[in-house]
Amino acid sequence: MKYLGIDYGSRRVGVAVSDAEGTIAFPRMTLVNDDQLFARLREVIEKEHIGMLVVGDTRSHGGVDNPVTPEAEAFVATLERETKLPVERVWEMWSSIEASRYAPEGKEHDDAAAAAIILQRYLDIRSGTVE
């Protein structure tokens, strides 16, 4: 099964897709968070034959809500309703920092790469490769 990873942001949304076996995550694109976001996500889901969605959990260390958490939770609720697909959440803390470590110079902030980090965390936990 293929998975879609999402790094939610109030202005931009990073998107990553797994391979068909659900073992490796690949950065795919960054979408503008506007009124066309869900239509574009549905297009990706259909084109890629996605079976499950993985969204970064925006809560800070210790599970405490931060200013974007309510907005992100509303996004997840709409995503579930719009796509009819199961949604899993995975800890996203430091995913952008981790992604920036591997980014080419001048592109240190890459939302799609952060989405791939989030998705890969989920895939590794699901497969049991991370304890």
For residues 62-66, average pLDDT: 71
Q: Is the per-residue pLDDT at 108 higher than 70? A: no
How does DSSP assign 49-87, residue by residue? TEEEEEEEE--BTTTB--TTHHHHHHHHHHHHHHH---E
> Is 107 inside a domain boundary?
yes
Does the residue 88 lie in any domain? yes
Structural domain total, the chain: 1
CATH number assigned to the domain comprising residue 13 = 3.30.420.140
Task: Please report the pLDDT score of residue 68 as a whole number.
Answer: 80
Domain annotation covers residue 47: no
Q: State how far the Cα of 106 lies from the Cα of 86, in Å rounded to an integer.
A: 36
Whole-model pTM?
Answer: 0.85
Range of the domain at 11: 2-33+56-127
Decide: 25 and 40 in contact? Cβ < 8 Å.
Answer: no
**Distance separating alpha carbons of residues 19 and 51, to the nearest angstrom:** 12
| 43 assigned to some structural domain | no
Domain assignment present for residue 69? The answer is: yes
Q: What is the pLDDT of residues 88-98, one digit of tens each?
A: 998 765 555 55
86 pLDDT above the threshold of 80: yes
